[in-house]
């Protein structure tokens, strides 16, 4: 029986890593979803993480809450949990890329991310992104811009079929 929702690949870090990258992503699905639970070494409540598809950073809009206020900008950078958040606490995100293998249009990206901290500051983020290329997405890279993803940060790439 054909399955709709399948794991493509995954990793849980056994040591700190500046970035994680999925390569050679097959084009046999309709959409892909990358979910993750991460924390970085940056000495702050949060770090910043950049999403690149096929080596190109996405553009777009970011709406986020800090626990004390709301902001919106055109910097589609994720906000992973940093080292000054409550210990052993990791964020929770989903990155949805529909039609990722299209060779005739650009790719939209939708990101929901939440971090937690037993303090006022914690980030909840919506990102609307765009990969301005007609090339099928075969590589997804997430890079911590200041620190490194710590041990036990985990990343799971799923493929969604539509038939």
User: Which residues between 83 and 142 bind another protein (CB under 8 A)?
Assistant: 86, 88-94, 96-99, 102, 104-122, 124-130, 132
Kindly tell me which of 108 and 135 has the beta carbon lying closer to another protein: 108
The CA–CA distances, whole Å, from 48 to 9, 38, 41, 99, 160 equal: 24, 12, 11, 26, 28
Interacting positions 18-77 with another protein (CB under 8 A): 18-26, 30-31, 35-37, 58-74, 76
Can you tell me the distance from the alpha carbon of 54 to that of 14, in angstroms, rounded to the nearest whole number?
25
The least distance separating another protein from the CB of residue 162, rounded to whole angstroms, comes to 4
Can you tell me the distance from the alpha carbon of 90 to that of 114, in angstroms, rounded to the nearest whole number?
9
- The backbone torsions φ and ψ at residue 80, rounded to the nearest 5 degrees and listed phi first, read -70, 160
Kindly tell me which of 75 and 146 has the beta carbon lying closer to another protein: 75
Kindly tell me which of 54 and 66 has the beta carbon lying closer to another protein: 66
Kindly tell me which of 48 and 113 has the beta carbon lying closer to another protein: 113
């Amino acid at each position: 029986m054909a399955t709709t929702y399948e794991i493509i690949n995954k990793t849980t870090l056994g040591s700190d890593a500046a970035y994680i990258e999925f390569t050679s992503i097959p084009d046999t699905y309709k959409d892909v979803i990358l979910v993750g639970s991460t924390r970085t070494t940056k000495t702050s409540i949060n770090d910043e993480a950049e999403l690149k598809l096929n080596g190109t950073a996405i553009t777009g809009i970011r709406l986020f809450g800090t626990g004390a206020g709301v902001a919106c900008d055109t910097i589609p950078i994720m906000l992973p949990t940093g080292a000054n958040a409550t210990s052993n606490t990791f964020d929770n995100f989903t990155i949805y890329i529909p039609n990722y293998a299209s060779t005739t249009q650009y790719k939209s990206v939708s990101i929901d991310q939440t971090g937690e901290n037993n303090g006022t500051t914690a980030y909840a983020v919506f990102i609307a992104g765009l990969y301005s290329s007609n090339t099928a997405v075969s590589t997804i890279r997430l890079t911590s811009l200041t620190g490194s993803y710590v041990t036990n940060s985990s990343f799971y790439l799923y493929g969604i079929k539509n038939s």
